[in-house]
Amino acid sequence: MGDKFDIQEYMTKGVERIVADAIKATLKDPKESAFMLKFASASKKASSKRKEAEENGEHIPPFLIASITSKCNLHCAGCYSRCNHATVDSEPVSQLTDEEWFKIFDEADDLGISFILLAGGEPMLRRGVIEAAGKKKNILFPVFTNGTFMDEKYFNLFDESRNLIPIMSIEGRKELTDTRRGPGVYDKLISNMDELKKRGLIFGASVTVTKENVREVTSDDFLKELSGRGCKAVIYVEFVPVTEESRDLTPGDDEREYLKQKISRLREEAPEMVYISFPGDEKSSGGCVAAGRGFFHINSHGGAEPCPFSPYSDVNIKNTSLREAMHSPLFMALQSGDILMDDHEGGCVLYEKRELVEQLMKKQS
């Protein structure tokens, strides 16, 4: 792939390829084919909007990450969101309403944002928000879920709203998944995959890469099994330690290099699935794409943050437009400075250099 690998282009082209493949594979399914053709057209229009904005001196990222709740039913080992107190067990307070999220989705559509990743906590606890997302057919919504709340109502919603793409978290096979996520989770995920495949629905898998599972989750056997069950995309997210206790799970240089080489080979030899690696792809793609370069994050309370691993915000979406939020002083300072381009040990550059981000925050206030 060389040093000029473009993560934004690969992700966009990858989604377009999945859409094209789905159109071919679903010609006998008029509902799926009709949606895919409409989305392909909408994606091109959104890309034209972003290009026109770029020519006028305004950069619109193609992606947005929306953490629609801080609540989660699982306690996964080393969870960065719990360690950052972004995920809690108590009933959430002062979170964005279903209507406020729908307004964000509306603005994103107007701006030409094509993909909004719904995360949490556990996003499926906010059925109203996911139903609202399903109505925005011009935007593809990957739903990053632990899969435990998938039920008949959700399967029907995914069937009716083909722009909602479940991305289920899995850590490898049964032992590794249940050890990190809890007993019975693996079997539930496999059951979900079988039901999604039976209905002809597109889905993906999200894998947190640790020292313990890096070989298993990149093995040909594991990936062939996912592909055979109908999985179309695998998103590898390197574990980011946010406590000293969880540092032993962190992939080292050897593991990161192994992951990089393996993904490069998979893209060449097994293109039936899309493979994304964070932050590995960013390091070979001109630096971190957070803080509005390629995406930014809105937390469950409306704070616009560089990314989920960098929970700093100087603007809240409740008080401003989406366009103004993506041009916040903090984002502009990060984009114009050197932090996003900095070399770093691995993992998340903004987390690793959080003291510098905090200093920038103080300068903006």
Specify the pLDDT at position 307. 82
Specify the pLDDT at position 1. 39
pLDDT in tens, 74-132: 777 656 565 556 666 666 778 999 999 999 999 999 999 988 999 988 999 999 999 99
Q: Which residues pair with 236 in a beta bridge?
A: 207, 277
**Is 122 a member of any domain?**
yes
**Is 96 a member of any domain?**
yes
Specify the pLDDT at position 142. 92
Specify the pLDDT at position 31. 66
Specify the pLDDT at position 75. 73
Specify the pLDDT at position 5. 47
| Number of independent structural domains in the chain | 1
Residue ranges in the chain whose pLDDT is less than 70: 1-33, 77-91, 241-246, 279-287, 289-291, 337-353, 358, 361-365
Cα 159 off chain centre by: 21
Specify the pLDDT at position 272. 78
Amino acid in position 76? C
**Is 2 a member of any domain?**
no
**Is 251 a member of any domain?**
yes
Return d(Cα 48, Cα 60) in angstroms, integer.
11
Specify the pLDDT at position 2. 43
What is the DSSP track for 310-356?
A: B---S-BTTSS-HHHHHT-HHHHHHHHSSGGG---SSS-HHHHTHHH
Amino acid in position 350? L
**Is 231 a member of any domain?**
yes
**How many CB atoms are located within 10 Å of the residue 272 CB?**
11
Specify the pLDDT at position 319. 93
If DSSP states are collapsed to H, E and C, what string results for 175-233? HHHHHHHCCCHHHHHHHHHHHHHHCCCCEEEEEEECCCCHHHHCCHHHHHHHHHCCEEE
**Is 1 a member of any domain?**
no
Residue 114 sits in which domain range?
7-364
Q: What is the CATH number of the domain that holds 177?
A: 3.20.20.70
* Angle CA 120–353–115, to nearest 5: 35
**Is 355 a member of any domain?**
yes
Specify the pLDDT at position 8. 58
* Angle CA 251–227–290, to nearest 5: 45
**Is 49 a member of any domain?**
yes
pLDDT in tens, 271-308: 778 888 876 655 555 567 666 777 889 999 999 988 88
